[in-house]
Structure 1
Amino acid sequence: MRYLLPFALAACTSASPALLDSRVRDVAVGGQVFRVWGPSPEGRVEAHRINTSAPPSRVLTLRNAYEAMTRATGCTVTPGTLQGDQAIQRAKVRC
C-alpha cells in the first residue's frame, strides 16, 4: 500500500484530459498556491490549489483562482464561467 501512495498523490494534481498537453504554471495569490493549466485551443483553463492549509473559504479561493488564471495565462476570464470549490477551479478565458 505504501508504494501506491506517491501515485495516488500525483493523481491529485493532474489536469482534465483535454488540458494535459497545455502549458502549466504555478502561481501564488493571497497566500494560496495554484497550479494552472491552459489555455486550451477552446479557451479552457483549470487551476488546482496545491498548498495545504485549514479549509479556506470557497469565495476567497475562487477570487484567488481568478487572479491566478489571469496571471498565468495573460488572458481575461470570461464573466460567468468561473466555477469550482476549494480544490479545483475551471473557467474559460479570452486572449
Structure 2
Amino acid sequence: MRVRFLPLIFPLVLTACNVAHPLDGLNRTGTASAGGHDFRVNWNLESAQATRTNPAWRPGLTQVIQSAVQATQEVTGCKVRPGTAIGDIALVNMALDCRVE
C-alpha cells in the first residue's frame, strides 16, 4: 500500500524547493541573476533569503554571497544591511533596510 503513495509525494517535495518556510514570514518572492548566478529571493520588509538555483562547480562562497546581495537588492528594491549577509553557497540570509528616503 505504501508504494502507491510514493508517486504522489515526490511531486509535492519538488514543489517545496525554493519556497521559504512559512514560519520565516517571508511573504514576497522573486527571481534575479547577478555575478553569473541565478537566485530565488524570498523576503519581507525586514529580512530576505536568497537561494541559488543554478548549477555551478565549486563556486566561491564570497562571490556567491556578493551575488546574492546584488540579486536581493535588485528584486526587493531595498538595501541589504552591511555585514548581515551570512550563509553558504546554496542559501544566504540577510537583513534589509526598506526605508524610503
- Pairwise TM-score range, normalised by the shorter structure: 0.7 to 0.9
CA positional deviation for 1:12: 2.8
Provide the secondary structure at the position in 1 that maps to 2:54: coil
The question of whether the paired residues in 2 share the 8 Å contact of 1:19 and 1:37 is answered with no
Q: Distance in 2 between matches of 1:44 and 1:62?
A: 15
Gaps of 5+ in 1: none
Task: Tell me the equivalent position of 1:59.
Answer: 62
Task: Tell me the equivalent position of 1:73.
Answer: 76
CA positional deviation for 1:81: 1.0
Q: Distance in 2 between matches of 1:16 and 1:79?
A: 24
Provide the secondary structure at the position in 2 that maps to 1:61: helix
CA positional deviation for 1:9: 2.7
Task: Tell me the equivalent position of 1:87.
Answer: 90
Aligned pair partner of 1:23 in 2, 25, 28: 28
Percent identity between the aligned chains? 33
Q: How high is the TM-score relative to the length of structure 1?
A: 0.83
The question of whether the paired residues in 2 share the 8 Å contact of 1:26 and 1:34 is answered with yes
The question of whether the paired residues in 2 share the 8 Å contact of 1:33 and 1:49 is answered with yes
Higher helix share: 2
Q: Distance in 2 between matches of 1:91 and 1:74?
A: 14
What's the Cα RMSD here?
1.6
Q: How high is the TM-score relative to the length of structure 2?
A: 0.79
